[in-house]
Amino acid sequence: MGRRERKKLLSRRTILEAAISEFSKKGYKETSVADIMSTADLGIGTFYNYFNSKEDLLFSLLGRLGETIRMALAEARAAERTSLELLEVGAHVTAKFLDENRFVMPLFLSASHHAGPHGGASAQGEAEAPPHGAKQPSRRMTPQIKQVFTEIIREGQEAGEIRSDVPVDLIAEMFHSLYQAAAFSQLDLSYQENIALKTRLLLDGIRKRNEVHVPN
């Protein structure tokens, strides 16, 4: 990688880190591109060299979740974890990321319905158009985080570890709904504790049991 490419990667990373800082302090809606670039100590015009809009940047941050999940699952697979253990790892990593980056939550919860950063409403009803001369919106798709869980569930059914009498898509949808349920929960539990308990209950429900045949 040449010096110019390294500088681009560094600038993009700096902008993302600045956005995380500003979103965490002010929230997504109240943070402007100017706020982000001031924290990054870069000119506003530089923002549009890397992102089409504030929403586009938010999708990039959600993409980090997908990368984090895949890395954690790769380690778990290397340790030869069962499909149920892989699902628990994925659920834990997702809950931790969302808990630490609450501003991503609305986008994550709508990810399965969102065609892309420019195919519908933004995460909080706000979209900022790039200035004249900025790059046109890309057709990058929302990270298919739910698909990761779907693949593990299918593998688990094929391996005889997960019940096969329940459709794969239904189980995957149940996992995806855990995060919304925990976000609006009134229980005296932290977000991550709430997800952990719900995950264990769900895993117990989909676990394949050995049938016991009672002789006549």
* Same-domain pairing of 60 and 127: yes
* Same-domain pairing of 105 and 123: yes
Number of domains into which the chain is organized:
2
> 207 - beta bridge partners?
162
Domain assignment present for 198:
yes
* Same-domain pairing of 80 and 105: yes
Question: Is 5 a residue whose pLDDT tops 90?
Answer: no
Residue 214 pLDDT class (50, 70, 90 cuts): low
> Cβ of 173: how many Cβ atoms within 10 Å?
14
22-56 pLDDT, tens digit per residue, is 988 888 889 999 999 999 999 999 999 999 999 89
Domain CATH for 31: 1.10.10.60
DSSP string, 104-143: GHHHHHTTTT---TTSS--TTS---PPPTTPPPPP-PPPP
Residue 215 pLDDT class (50, 70, 90 cuts): low
* Same-domain pairing of 10 and 113: no
81-97 pLDDT, tens digit per residue, is 999 999 999 999 999 99
124-133 pLDDT, tens digit per residue, is 333 344 344 4
The pair of three-digit structure tokens given for residue 156, joined into one six-digit string = 């688990």
Q: What is the pLDDT of residue 129?
A: 43
For residues 104 and 68, the answer to whether their CB atoms sit within 8 Å is no
Distance CA 104, CA 20 (A): 10
Domain assignment present for 68:
yes
